[in-house]
Amino acid sequence: MTISESKDLTFECETGNYHTFCPISCVAWLYQKIEDSFFLVIGTKTCGYFLQNSMGVMIFAEPRYAMAELEEGDISAQLNDYEELKRLCLQIKRDRNPSVIVWIGTCTTEIIKMDLEGMAPKLESEIGIPLVVARANGLDYAFTQGEDTVLAAMAQRCPSTFTTGINPKESNTFSSFFNFGRKQIESKDGKLNPIEHQPLILFGSLPDPVVTQLNLELKKQGITVSGWLPAKRYMELPTIQEGNYVCGVHPFLSRTATTLMRRRKCKLISAPFPIGPDGTRAWIEKICSTLGIQPNGLDEREQQIWDSLTDYLNLVKGKSVFFMGDNLLEVSLARFLIRCGMIVQEIGIPYMDKRYQAAELNLLEETCRKMGTAIPRIVEKPDNYNQIQRIQELKPDLVITGMAQANPLEARGINTKWSVEFTFAQIHGFSNARDILELVTRPLRRKGNFRELGWNTLIE
Amino acid sequence: MKLAYWMYAGPAHIGTLRIASSFKKVHAIMHAPLGDDYFNVMRSMLERERDFTPVTASVVDRHVLARGSQEKVVNNITRKDLEEKPDLIVLTPTCTSSILQEDLQNFVDRASLESQADVLLADVNHYRVNELQAADRTLEQIVSFYIEKALKKGDLVLQKTRIPSVNLIGIFTLGFHNQHDCRELKKLFLDLGITVNEIVPENASVTNLKNLPQAWINIVPYREVGLMTAEYLKNEFNMPYIDITPIGLIETTRFIRKIQEMVNQLGGNVNFESYIQQQTKAILETSQFIQPNKTNNRKNFTKKAIVFGGSTHASAITKVLVKEMGINVIWAGTYCKYDSAWFHEQVKSFCSSILITEDHAEVGNLIAKTEPDVIFGTQMERHVGKRLNIACGVISAPVHIQNFPLGYRPFVGYEGTKQINDLVYNALNLGHEVSLFEVFNDSSNNLTLKENISISWNSEALEELKKIPGFIRNKVKRTTETFAKERKIESITLDVLYASKESLIN
C-alpha cells in the first residue's frame, strides 16, 4: 500500500482539546451486537458514571455489561488484582453464563499498570470462558476507536481452521460452501450465481439489517462474504486464513486492519467506505476489481438512489457544513455531503490514518474536483475553542458537533446536528443514504419553520 | 473491586464541577484524560444551557504519563485566563489523574502568579467522597477563600442589612428541580417581607461572596449541599442557619416559624402566623386529597408506599406521605450512606424499616419482595416499577431530562405542596386505572387490528423481519406485503423486502 499524500489535501494538527466520548462507550453497541458476550469495564466511578449517563435508557435493560469498580485498596495494591478479577468473573459466569468476557482496560488500569493481558490467559483456563482484553482508554483513543481496540483483540481469536458443529443452525451457507470443496451452489432464485473467488471477510460492527443489506449488494455481484468480524455471536467468529481478503466498513478500524494484515496475514482491500451511494458504489467496485470480478448494474443502482434523494438534495445544495470532529466518520460523511452539493468548510477529526483511509481520501479529492469545490482542510486533534472562533467567523449553515456544544451554538443562531447520531443511525449501503440526509437536513428543515418568527439568536 | 452497574451519586469531580459552573465567571479546568468532559454534555443537554459550559480539560495523555504534565496545566490555566477572563479558575483532578500524584498545588501556585484570575485546586479525595460530598466541600472552599481574601483586604462588611435578610445556600446546577425551588423560595421570602441577600452558588459572582455576612440568617434547603458552608459562616461570624427543608405543608410551616423565631431573636419584629394560616387554608380547600377523612374513597389511602432517594427528598417525602396523606410507608431509604444517622433520626417514627444502601439491586429486590402499591424514588426505581408493574413518582436525583421540566415544578413551599399532591395522586391513580382497564378489557374485541394478507415469506426474509424492532415490525410487514401484492410477487425474499424499503423512499 502506498501512502497517499496529495499536495491538494491539507492536514493540520491542533492541540487535541476537543470534546468526544470516551472509547469505553463502544460497549454500548458491541454488547448488543455480540449477543453472547459480556463486557467488563475495569475502571473507576468516572467510567461508570459516563456509561450510565451516555447509554440512556439502555442501562435499565439489564445490559450485559458491568463495571469492575476499582477501590482505594485496588489502586494501592492492597488487594490482589488477579483474585479480585477472578471473583468478579466467576460471579458473571454464574449469573449470565456468557460465551466470552471482554475486559475493557481504562485509563486507571493503564496508570497503575495492571497487567490485564498477562492475567487473562491464566484466568481463562481457570474459569473456562474466553477472556478478550481490549485497552479502550481515553489516554490513547477517542470514541469509536474503542470498537477498533475490541475488534483488533477479537481478530486474534478468529479460528484459522474450519471447525464443524459450532453452530449448525446459524452457520451460513457461505462457510459451508467452503467446507465442501468449493462446489458452486445454486442460489434460491436462480439469478445470482456466486462466482468463485478468494474468501472475503468484512470487518466492522453494524446492525444486523445493514449486514444483510451489504451482503446482498455483494451477492448481486456474485461475491460471497465468508464472514464478518464481529459476528452475531462470539462463537461464530469467522474463520480467517492466511491470504484471505479483508475489507473494512468503518473508517475508524485501522488497528483491526493492521492486526488482520500483520498477525493473520490477510490482504486488505483498501476501499472508500460504504457510506452514501457514491461510497457504497466505490466500495463494491474496489472489492470487485480486487477479486477480479466485472461489476454490473452499479451505474443504474447508484443513479437510482441519487434520483430518490432529489427532495433532500435541493435542501442541502450550496449550504456550508463544518465538522468539529469526534467520531472518525467525518471524512466519509464530508465526501458524501460534497457530492450532495454542500460546501465543507472544515473536517475536524480525532485521528487520521492516511494509510487506512487512503482510498477514502482519494475519493474525497476526486469528488471535490468533480463538484468544482475547494478541498476542505482536515484538522486532526482539533481545538474546540479555536474551532468555535472559526465557526463564528465562517457562519456555516450547519455544524456537525458533539452534544456539549450543540445547544450553545444553536443559541448563537448556528444550526447544529449531533455527531453521535451518525454513529448510531444506519448509514451504510445504498438504501441508507436517505437516512444520512434525513439527519443532516433535520435542523435545516426545522429552523426554516422558525425563521419567520424572527428568532435567530437567543443570547444577548 | 466491586461489580457495579449503576450508581446513585456520581464521582467527586462532578460535584466540584457542578459548584464551579454554577457561579458566574468561574472556569473549571479538569486534569483528565480525553472523554472525561462528559459533564459538559450533561449540563448542556439536561439544563438546556444556552452558554458553553465553563469547563475544559487539560488532557492527560501518553505524553503526560511519560513526562508529567510539566507546563501543560499551567499553560492551560493561563490560556483560559486570557480567553475567558474569569474571576476564578478551579483546577479539578479526576479519579484517574489523582493517581498520578502530580503536585497540582504547585501548578496552581505558579499559574496564579501569571493569571489575572484567582486559581484554586479543588480539595477533594476522589476515592473517599462522592459527588454530593465533594460539592459540599467545594462550595465551602470557594466561600472561605473569598471571605478570607476580603478579610485580608479589609473590605469585608459585617454590618447586617436593615431589613431582615437571608442567604440561600446550596442551589446549583443539575440539582433536582433546583431552579424551580429557587424561584419558589424567592417568592416566599418576598411574601414574608424578607430580602434575599445572596444566592450561592447558582448565578452568583465570587466577588459578591464577601457580602454573605450581611445577611441575618443562612438558609440551607437541601441536606446534601451547603451545610459545610453554613457551619463555616456560623463559626466565623456567628451567623445562625436553618436546615429545615420546606417540603410539604407541615415542614413549610415549621420552616417559616423557625425564620420568624430567629428574626425576632435577632431584633426583628415579625409575625407570619396569618400568612401561614391563609396559605395553608388555600391549599387544604383545593386539595381534598390531604384530608382523607372527607373523601369517600378512603380505601385509596391505606395504600402501601416505599420511598428511596437522596437524604433530603426521601425523608421529606416520607413525612409528607405519612403525616399529610395518611399513606402507609412500609420502608424508606437513602443512598446517602455517609449521612445515615441523620436519615434514621428523620424517618424512624414514620416507617417500620429503613434501608441505607448504594446498591440498586438491593433496592430492587426489596421492592419486589415488599410489593408496594406505589414507589417514590429515582429514575432507577421508576424502571423497577415498570418491570414489576408498580406505579412510580420520581422524587429525587439521579434523574433524566424529563425531570428537568420547562414548566414550573418546584418541590418546596406552597406551590411545591400542590405539585407533590399532583404527583402522588397521579401515581396512585395511574396504577388504579391500569388495573381497572385490565379487569374490564375484553381482548377478543381487538379484531380490528388483525390482518388477513396471505403472502408467504421465505425463511431468510422472515429471519430479517424478526430483527426489525418490535414497534415497527408490523408496519414493515404490512407495507412489504402490500408492495409484493401490487407487483404480483408470491413469495417475499430478502430482495423484495429491501426493494420495498427503497420503493418507500422513492
Q: Are A233 and A150 in contact (CB under 8 A)?
A: no
Edge to edge, what strands does the sheet with A37-43 contain?
A: A131-135, A100-105, A37-43, A65-69, B2-4
Q: Where are the beta strands (DSSP E) in A170-307?
A: 200-203, 225-229, 245-248, 267-268
CA of A77: which chain B residue's CA is closest?
B1
d(CA A143, CA A22): 5
Residues of A marked as binding for [4Fe-4S] cluster?
22, 47, 107
**How many H-runs (helices) and E-runs (strands) does chain A carry?**
19, 14
Chain A 312-341, residues with CB within 8 Å of chain B CB atoms: none
Pick the more confident residue, B443 or A86: A86
The answer on pLDDT for B447 being more than 60 is: no
ipTM exceeding 0.90?
Answer: no
3-class SS of residue B407: coil
pLDDT value of position A138: 92
Q: Which domains does chain B have, with CATH numbers?
A: 12-129 (3.40.50.1980), 165-285 (3.40.50.1980), 304-434 (3.40.50.1980), 456-503 (1.10.8.550)
Among chain A residues, the shortest Cα distance to B7 is held by A49
* CA–CA separation, B479 and B384 (whole Å): 36
A100 with A129: CB under 8 angstroms? Answer: yes
Best residue in A14, A15, A19, A106 for a mutation probing chain B (most B CBs within 10 Å): A19
3 state SS of B260:
helix
State the Cα–Cα distance between residues B331 and B314, nearest whole angstrom.
11
Q: How far apart are CA B91 and CA B455, in angstroms?
A: 66
pLDDT digits (tens, 9 = 90+) for A90-109: 999 999 999 999 999 999 99
Q: What angle do CA B295, B297, B300 make, to 5 degrees?
A: 110
Q: Checking DSSP bridges between strand A37-43 and strand A100-105, what pairing results, if any?
A: parallel
Residue B420 has pLDDT above 70, yes or no: yes
Q: What is the pLDDT of residues A260-315, one digit of tens each?
A: 999 999 999 999 999 999 999 999 999 999 999 999 999 999 999 999 999 999 99
Nearest to B493 by CA among B504, B484, B506, B503: B484
CATH architecture of the domain A298-452 equals 3-Layer(aba) Sandwich (3.40)
Instruction: Count CB neighbours of B159 within 10 A.
Output: 7
Residue A318 has pLDDT above 80, yes or no: yes
- The predicted structure's pLDDT at residue A1: 34
Return the pLDDT at A53: 86
User: Rounded to a whole number, what is the distance in Å from the CA of A344 to chain B's nearest CA?
Assistant: 24
Outline which parts of chain A fall under CATH 3.40.50.1980: 23-141, 200-291, 298-452
pTM of the model: 0.88
The yes-or-no verdict on residue B296 having pLDDT over 50 is no
Query: Are B118 and B88 a contacting pair, CB within 8 Å?
Result: yes
Quick one: three-class SS letters along B10-60?
CCHHHHHHHHHHHCECEEEEEEECCCCCHHHHHHHHHCCCCCCCCEEEEEC
Question: Which grid cell sits at A280?
Answer: 457504497
pLDDT of residue A41: 96
Residue B41 — pLDDT band, cuts 50, 70, 90?
very high
pLDDT at B322: 92
Of A60, A385, A434, the CB nearest to B83: A385
How many alpha carbons lie under 13 Å from residue B95 in its C-beta half-sphere? 33
Per-residue pLDDT tens digits for B175-234: 999 999 999 999 999 999 999 999 999 999 999 999 999 999 999 999 999 999 999 999
Angle subtended at Cα B15 by Cα B11 and Cα B20, rounded to the nearest 5 degrees: 140
Query: Nine-digit cell at A370?
Result: 468533480
- Our CA-based measurement puts residue B467 at a distance from the nearest CA of chain A, in whole angstroms, of 7
A380 vs A14: CA distance, rounded Å? 6
Cell of A111: 496508570
From the list A116, A308, A95, A108, the residue with the least C-alpha distance to B65 is A108
- pLDDT tens column, B310-330: 999 999 999 999 998 888 999
Say whether pLDDT at A160 is over 70.
Answer: yes
CB A362 within 8 A of CB A286: no
Residue with the bigger pLDDT between A150 and B295: it is: A150
Quick check: A68 contacting B, CB < 8 Å? yes
Q: What are phi and psi of B89, to 5 degrees?
A: -115, 125
**Would you identify the CATH topology of the domain A200-291?**
Rossmann fold (3.40.50)
pLDDT of residue B6: 87
Residue-wise pLDDT for B86-119, tens only, equals 999 999 999 888 888 899 999 999 999 999 999 9
Residue B134 has pLDDT above 50, yes or no: yes
CATH match for A23-141 among 3.40.350.10, 3.10.310.40, 3.30.420.40, 3.40.50.1980: 3.40.50.1980
Residue B35 at interface with chain A, using a CB cutoff of 8 Å: yes
Question: What gap in Å lies between CA B503 and CA B174, rounded to an integer?
Answer: 46
